[in-house]
């Protein structure tokens, strides 16, 4: 697996506009009441704030804009640190680019 730093900018870079990787779909399973990240040959059950972050990864919003949006939705939460750490990790997994 490639480290996020080797891929170029990390989530700390304010100009990165993350989006889901090619062939990856964010889906809500109404039967199981669960949010899933559907990838070729793999499905990931999403928990916590992961869904809120990934829904905003549309390739249009910068990381800074995502953080600001989530700060408004979750006042008092350590959004900036959590979001940038999460995005760096999932970028390393290839879930976002």
pLDDT in tens, the chain (97 residues): 334 444 455 677 668 999 999 999 999 999 999 999 999 999 999 999 999 999 999 999 999 999 999 999 999 999 999 999 999 999 999 999 9
Q: Output the pLDDT for position 15.
A: 87
Q: Output the pLDDT for position 14.
A: 66
Closest CA to 41 of 54, 24, 20, 58: 24
Alpha carbons 57 and 65: distance in angstroms, whole number: 10
Alpha carbons 12 and 1: distance in angstroms, whole number: 20
| pTM for this entry | 0.84
Q: Do residues 20 and 57 touch, judged by C-beta distance below 8 A?
A: yes
Q: Output the pLDDT for position 82.
A: 93
């Amino acid at each position: 697996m490639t480290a996020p730093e080797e891929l170029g900018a990390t989530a700390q870079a304010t100009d990165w506009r993350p989006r889901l990787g090619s062939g990856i779909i964010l889906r809500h399973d109404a039967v199981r009441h669960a949010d899933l990240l559907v990838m070729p040959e793999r499905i990931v059950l999403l928990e916590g704030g992961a869904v809120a972050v990934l829904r905003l990864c549309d390739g249009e919003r910068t990381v800074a804009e995502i953080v600001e949006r989530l700060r408004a939705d979750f006042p008092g939460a350590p959004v900036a640190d959590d979001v940038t750490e999460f995005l760096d990790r999932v970028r390393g997994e290839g879930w976002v680019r």
